[in-house]
Structure 1
Amino acid sequence: MLVDSHCHLDRLDLAEHNGCLDTALDAARACGVGHFLCIGVSADNAAAVKALAARYDDVDCSVGIHPLDLAPGQPPALDWLMGELDDPRVVAIGETGLDYHYEPEAAELQQASFRLHLQAANLTGKPVIVHTRGAQADTLALLREAQLPQAGVLHCFTEDWEMAKAALDVGFYISLSGIVTFRNADALREVARQVPADRLLVETDSPYLAPIPYRGKSNLPQYVREVAQCIATVRGETFESLAERTTDNFCRLFPLARVRRQA
């Protein structure tokens, strides 16, 4: 069994599945995907991801505000975030983090928002899902400053082994997406080789970043199988062992998730 640990079910391009999310999820289940974590990125989509988690027994959700979805000049309100996190269907915080690649001019606002999400993580004990791009030093500094009592995850990891090791050292997990299958991703495949077996997750980040051989198409949760197969090959282990181990890791990181292990 596989878990797609990071997907945006409310944003999928469902043309391949006749516009039907049920059909898309059934296709993923047929590929061995037994659970999905649907990610919040803004105040606007919080209700949508919670509704999906309520509708499907094998879908849980997170709530948070992506660094590129922040209102100009204004970090989210802590009372709003805490209220959203009180919903039992919300098993994680985020995605949050820093993105200086696209919006370096908003670094101060992004840091304020990230700190607020990390504060909520300390208050609730729920794990935090971190997006980071072009902001290695500040991301790690804020994670160290937060001193979270529970683990979190750097999702869709694209940085180098040095950053991965630093994140591992503060208790974080590393989640790899379809980028690991790309022809020019040798450095990322080296990270995949070195991440400890008990700290590794797999994801699609669908509808973005479809893996080979679907690159250029809209990504779907069923394609997490290609991500896992690539990583298993890189690590010299079987697909079955990689799937089982990453599912174990997901359950450990997100203990509130309603994962039903397949017999």
Structure 2
Amino acid sequence: MYIDSHCHINFPELAEKMPEVLSAMADNQVTHALCVSVDLPDFPQVLALAEQYPHVYASVGVHPDYPDTPEPSVDDLVRLANHPKIVAIGETGLDYYRLEGDLEWQRERFRVHIRASRATGKPLIIHTRAAAEDTIRIMQEEGAGTDQGGAGGVMHCFTESLAVAEAAMAMGFYISFSGIVTFKNAKELQAVALAVPLEKMLIETDSPYLAPVPHRGRMNQPAWVKHVAEFVAQLKGVPLEQVAKQTTDNFFNLFKAHR
């Protein structure tokens, strides 16, 4: 069985076809999915999905790409995370790719999420793009890792170097690979995936984005996380069943979710 450790099935393009999305998951042995929050106004939709479907979990957080949205406080995140189906804080982190200017607000938002993670004991879902150095630095300064008494978490949709992956893993974080790893031009990322131990790996879709080969260019969906697992198995030269079991075990070990 497979688990999509990061998706956005509350986004309209997937939410409006939920029966088909869930049916495709079942057909492809995708037993669970984690629907990830990107802002507070839409959080009720995320939570509602998790409450409605036993095999869907949720997170609470505000994405770094959202400058014009209500800013969360530590107390806000702790309060909203106090629910059995909320298994993580995020997605949070830093993104210097799309936004310019003084991004101190982004760094402060990241710190707030890390503090909420420490307060709740729930792991972080971290997004980093063109900001790896600051991301790792703030994680260390705020004690995000299990090595400093934090809850750890996952570096989602990983596209950084092996050095960044190793720094995160040293703090007790998992590395999650999306459909990007299946792209023909993703040779550097594939080398990272080859080096990351299965024991520290998760798989995801980040749907509705980043559909894996052979569906690249189409709207992504959780069912297609199986293609990420298939690619990783081929890349590492191990049985597909081994990738499926290990990434599933990793998910439950990290998020403490009920199977």
After TM superposition, the score normalised by the length of structure 1 is: 0.93
Matched, 1:104 2:100: yes
Q: Which amino acid aligns with 1:126?
A: K
Counterpart in the other structure of 2:111: 115
Post-superposition offset of 1:25: 1.0
Q: CA separation in 1, counterparts of 2:33 and 2:26?
A: 10
1:90 corresponds to which of 86, 89, 97: 86
Counterpart in the other structure of 1:57: 54
Q: Which amino acid aligns with 1:119?
A: R
**Aligned-partner SS, 2:13:** coil
CA distance 1:147–1:131, shift in 2 (3 Å): same
| Contact 1:75–1:112 (CA under 8 A) maintained in structure 2 | no
Q: CA separation in 1, counterparts of 2:40 and 2:110?
A: 15
Matched, 1:229 2:225: no
Post-superposition offset of 1:258: 2.6
Q: Which amino acid aligns with 2:175?
A: I
**Aligned-partner SS, 2:208:** coil
Post-superposition offset of 1:13: 2.7
Counterpart in the other structure of 1:211: 212
Counterpart in the other structure of 2:3: 3
| Contact 2:35–2:59 (CA under 8 A) maintained in structure 1 | yes
Q: Which amino acid aligns with 2:94?
A: L
**Aligned-partner SS, 1:36:** strand
Percent identical residues: 46
Counterpart in the other structure of 2:20: 23
Question: Which blocks of at least 5 consecutive residues in structure 1 are unaligned?
Answer: none
CA distance 1:34–1:106, shift in 2 (3 Å): farther
| Contact 1:60–1:258 (CA under 8 A) maintained in structure 2 | no
| Contact 2:6–2:35 (CA under 8 A) maintained in structure 1 | yes
**1:144-203 deviations in Å (ceiling 9; x for gaps):** 112232221000000111111111111110000000001110111111111122110000
Post-superposition, which runs of at least 4 consecutive aligned residues in structure 1 deviate over 6 A?
A: none
Question: Which blocks of at least 5 consecutive residues in structure 2 are unaligned?
Answer: none
After TM superposition, the score normalised by the length of structure 2 is: 0.94
Bigger shift: residues 235-244 or 147-156: 147-156
Post-superposition offset of 1:46: 0.7
Counterpart in the other structure of 1:190: 191
Matched, 1:251 2:252: yes
**1:38-67 deviations in Å (ceiling 9; x for gaps):** 000001111001000000010010010000
Q: CA separation in 2, counterparts of 1:44 and 1:243?
A: 34
| Contact 1:75–1:109 (CA under 8 A) maintained in structure 2 | no
Post-superposition offset of 1:82: 1.6
**1:5-30 deviations in Å (ceiling 9; x for gaps):** 00001116349xxx430221111111
Counterpart in the other structure of 1:201: 202
**Aligned-partner SS, 2:24:** helix
**Aligned-partner SS, 1:140:** helix
Q: How large is the RMSD of aligned CA atoms in angstroms? A: 1.4
- Count of residues in correspondence between the two structures: 254
Q: CA separation in 1, counterparts of 2:244 and 2:120?
A: 29
